[in-house]
Amino acid sequence: METMKTIILAGGAGTRLSEETVVRPKPMVEIGGRPILWHILSIFAAHGHRDFIVACGYKGELIKEFFTRFALHAGDIVVEMKTGKVTVESNRSPDWRVALVDTGMATQTGGRLLRLKSRVNTGTFMMTYGDSVADIVIPALLAFHRSHGRLATITAVRPPARFGGIVFDGDRVAQFSEKPQIGEGWINGGFMVLEPGVIDYITGDDTVFERGPLERLATDRQLMAYRHTGFWQPMDTLREKNLLENMWQDGTAPWKVW
């Protein structure tokens, strides 16, 4: 098992997906009957990374319950009714180590990382968001990070077009395309590789990692971007949740690399 730790930021309330997140944290919203968080861990595990830290916050108890009960649900069980002893047989659970850590209800992304400092201060680690999937090749991302020797690498992606693109000829639609990605502009898609030194850029619970720390790392020439031109999709809205669900049901989910 790869010993490098991977942090999943899973503490936000996901207010733009309120149809789902009123009853569960956003990372527990299901695609194909499994939480999107499970899909994200599966992406990393497919490349040999199975040591995870989930930074919990909003409704974090539901994330803890899911992993606590996973072995029971994944395998066959025998219950000794008199004693209450439960034996899991033919356990089909994955070989993952998952630390579920309460990082506070209102803590910002940087603050959540700061609270995990003692768990990742021994070497390079990865971090991503609990609501986005991609067909990213983790070994290539790590190789890029190691090649430049800076403190931080973020994965740059082109955001998916939310609406169909129209090309006009007068009032006639000359071309209509539901493009999967727009042709210009790069944004932070998560899937970061970080050195412990980045934590020195965080001041407290209210630090938004994407603002102060990443901005200062860039100023200090310590921030590099790995360009991912393949599939990347966040799950910010019900429309996007349904898009991912349809891909999974059609057997065309690009992020299913396991």
Is 42 among the domain residues?
yes
Q: Which of the four pLDDT bands, split at 50, 70 and 90, describes residue 175?
A: confident
The whole-number pLDDT of residue 72 equals 78
CB-CB contact of 115 with 99 (8 Å): no
Is 218 among the domain residues?
yes
Across the chain, mean pLDDT equals: 91
Is 179 among the domain residues?
no
User: Which residue has tokens 């800076």?
Assistant: 150
Residue 110 predicted with pLDDT over 80: yes
How many domains does the chain fold into?
Answer: 1
Poorest-pLDDT segment among 4-8, 39-43, 164-168:
164-168
Residue 42 predicted with pLDDT over 80: yes
C-alpha to C-alpha distance for 146 and 136, rounded to whole angstroms: 17
Hey, CA dihedral for 190, 10, 102, 6, is it positive or negative?
negative
Q: Which of the four pLDDT bands, split at 50, 70 and 90, describes residue 179?
A: low
Span 130-136, average pLDDT:
97
Poorest-pLDDT segment among 38-42, 52-56, 162-166:
162-166
Is 171 among the domain residues?
no
Nearest to 50 by CA among 104, 3, 14, 102: 3
Domain that holds residue 56: 2-154+187-250
CB-CB contact of 44 with 164 (8 Å): no
Is 57 among the domain residues?
yes
CATH of the domain at 57: 3.90.550.10
The whole-number pLDDT of residue 75 equals 80
Is 165 among the domain residues?
no
Is 169 among the domain residues?
no
Residue 177 predicted with pLDDT over 70: no
Q: Which of the four pLDDT bands, split at 50, 70 and 90, describes residue 181?
A: low
